[in-house]
Structure 1
């Protein structure tokens, strides 16, 4: 079970999914071979040996279900890997529109240092838009994808708290503003807003 994390991106989520799918195949093969290294409790049960096919099939079925549920994400796996680890990607196998940009990126020692020291979204935001337009565009498409339902659940919770019977006069526009303020990571410039408000009242 994966812990629900606020900051998890789709690339992080799918990395966990791929690892879990590989483990399911590994476990199924081991159980078929009657190797219970990672199933200490199962190894102590008398009926285990006669049920190895059943256990192995259950693991295979679970693997198939994971493949089905994450089939859409699997289609963008190459893009996920490129955005998450651009320095280790082979430009020749990358999408044509980013091949030259990827070579420039991998040849720049300053950008390599930035990649190791910055958060992923901050790194791509720091790239020169004129030099790396396609890589930036690809990163934007990937990084806006949610890797968990955290933001959705947070938004619904805030909405339920604010849209209560005793606040019946709350308009949809006000509710949208409340939801945006509550769920955003941006910090308002209160001094600038206050100054702007003072100017409007002059």
Structure 2
């Protein structure tokens, strides 16, 4: 079997991977500050973060909370409400926001896959666009006001009286 086609495909994948994720190397320090704020060497972090890093690493209470909960919950429930570490909070928000758009895209593709299942194979592209738009929209219709503006049709079926 000739490995040439596989070598070419793998080479293309490496190039594509490098192009898509090459920017992440530029944010290596920010990722490290976000993921392991207690394990960093204070002398190696940017000067804007050194004082906060010293205060953070000196707090045994925060170390215990960091090791007892998930990374996301540590920032959400401990660091952000305290307001004590604004540079750490800014860094965390920047890092977390980098992946928010990826999550939304994955969520939309999952909805599309569900909508285009074998049970709904009759969907046209226009119908799929409408379904995806509705399922990904954060707008909620005010059904009460929409219904109150309409005149209701009364049935012509006579009502039986109780005699």
Question: Do both proteins adopt the same fold according to a TM-score greater than 0.5, normalized to the shorter chain?
Answer: yes
Is this contact kept in 2: 1:79–1:142, CA < 8 A? yes
Which residue in 1 is equivalent to 2:148? none
Which residue in 1 is equivalent to 2:85? 132
Question: Does 1:109 pair with 2:109?
Answer: no
Which residue in 2 is equivalent to 1:84? 35
Which residue in 2 is equivalent to 1:71? 22
How many residue pairs match? The answer is 120
Q: Which runs of 5+ in 2 are unaligned?
A: 1-6, 116-122, 139-143, 145-163
Q: Which has the higher contact order (CA 8 A, sep 6+)?
A: 1
Q: 1:166: how far off?
A: 9.4
Over the residues paired in the alignment, what is the CA RMSD in angstroms?
4.0
Q: What is the TM-score when the length of structure 1 is the normalising length?
A: 0.47
| TM-aligned CA distance change 1:89 to 1:152, over 3 Å | same
**Separation of aligned partners in 2, 1:103 and 1:136:** 15
Which residue in 2 is equivalent to 1:165? 127
Q: What is the TM-score when the length of structure 2 is the normalising length?
A: 0.57
**Separation of aligned partners in 2, 1:122 and 1:103:** 22
**Among candidates 67, 89, 94, match of residue 141 of structure 1:** 94
**Separation of aligned partners in 2, 1:74 and 1:68:** 11
Which residue in 2 is equivalent to 1:179? 136
Is this contact kept in 1: 2:112–2:128, CA < 8 A? no
**Among candidates 94, 97, 121, match of residue 48 of structure 2:** 97
| TM-aligned CA distance change 1:180 to 1:166, over 3 Å | closer
Which residue in 2 is equivalent to 1:156? 109
**Separation of aligned partners in 2, 1:63 and 1:167:** 33
Q: Which runs of 5+ in 1 are unaligned?
A: 1-54, 182-196, 198-202
